[in-house]
Amino acid sequence: MSVLQQLEEQQYLVSMAGGQHVVDSLVPLNVGARVRAVVVSVGDRLELKYLSSDSEPAAAPDETSPTPSLLDTLQARYKVALDTDQHDSLEQAVSRATDPTSMALGGLFLAKSGHPVAEEGLQALYVAQRIDGNAANRSSAAGDVTQLVQSAAEGDDSASAMLAEMLGNAFTDDGGGGDLSRWLLNIQNEGSVAYRYGTLPVMVAGQLVELDLVHFQQRPTASAATQIRRLVMTFDTKTLGPVQVEARALDNRLIITFTGQTTEAATELSAYSGEVRQLAGRLGWNVEGVGYEYGSEGRAARQIIDHVLSAGSVDMEF
């Protein structure tokens, strides 16, 4: 799209798809620039993810103004209001965190969702987002499930029942705070897209893998002839490290994107593109694309946090 005019601090008039539209942008844009973006959600609002611009804004140094903190920057970006006590408490938590961004985003998510910005909730969301944040818990859970699988295979009916209950509860809200992060991340907002978060242990090639899963689905409306669905999975592998798989579906059409943490991981994953297409085709999907990227955006839980924080920040009629 082309940026035609800046209307307010974060609001622009752009030209795209043969028409002119007003957008709220989390990223500063230059008038006259051509911007590349991808659609991440379609509903009452069209949400776009910024990729690049042919005219990046030049940062003008201002020695008289203090550099905003990470929390202040994210708070302004997502337009989340924090009172003084909330801000000070979250600022302290961010300053102590190994991963300040995950801590800050979790706190803003709590505030925007109407929950106390308290230590218990902050830690729960922090661990849920971190690539290595719950490695010990995952290792313990993996051992428990491995034993259950083995016992069930040997004919232990109680082990089979426990395993079935565990799998059935992967997306169930317990509401009692036992798994606080899952409970928080499954509380719905009033947007046009519903979402679900859970974890699921599965056996892959004889190895137990725990998947973090997030499912987005456009809520049915009278005007929507089709529903857009998106599934994001993150899991750890021994040879490639953390991997994210994202599948976007419209009717029976499917676009799949694999993301590794390094270029080497992305290259290794791309070697199996043919197998991925064949498997999806056998399951009845029309695969329109399989992509491979690299980078780190945390676990699948981050997808819901970003979605909730961005609600109302990017708004375009189309």
Residue 222: HSE in the Cβ half-sphere, 13 Å Cα cutoff: 0
pLDDT level of residue 97 (50, 70, 90 thresholds): very high
pLDDT at 70 over 50: yes
CA distance 250 to 75: 33
Statement: 196-310 belongs to CATH 3.30.750: yes
Q: Strand pairing of 253-260 and 286-294? A: parallel
Q: Which two tokens stand for residue 307?
A: 């979605």
Domain coordinates in residue numbering, the chain:
2-53, 70-129, 196-310
Q: Tens digits of per-residue pLDDT, 271-318?
A: 998 999 999 999 999 999 899 988 877 899 999 999 999 886 443 332
Q: Which residue, among 309, 316, 287, 268, has the nearest Cα to 106 in the 3D structure? A: 309
pLDDT at 106 over 90: yes
Q: Tens digits of per-residue pLDDT, 22-68?
A: 888 888 888 888 888 888 776 667 788 888 887 654 445 455 556 67
Question: Are the C-beta atoms of 226 and 251 separated by less than 8 Å?
Answer: yes
What single-letter amino acid sits at 190? E
- For the chain, give the percent of residues with pLDDT over 70: 79
The highest-confidence range among 53-67, 69-83, 123-137, 146-160, by mean pLDDT, is 69-83
Residue 77: HSE in the Cβ half-sphere, 13 Å Cα cutoff: 18
- For the chain, give the percent of residues with pLDDT over 90: 38
Q: Looking at the chain, which runs of residues are DSSP E strands? A: 2-8, 11-16, 19-24, 35-42, 46-53, 193-204, 207-218, 228-237, 241-250, 253-260, 286-294
Give burial (CB, 10 Å; 0-12/13-18/19+) of 93. buried
Q: Which residue, among 185, 138, 199, has the nearest Cα to 309 in the 3D structure? A: 185
- 256 strand-pairing partners: 247, 290
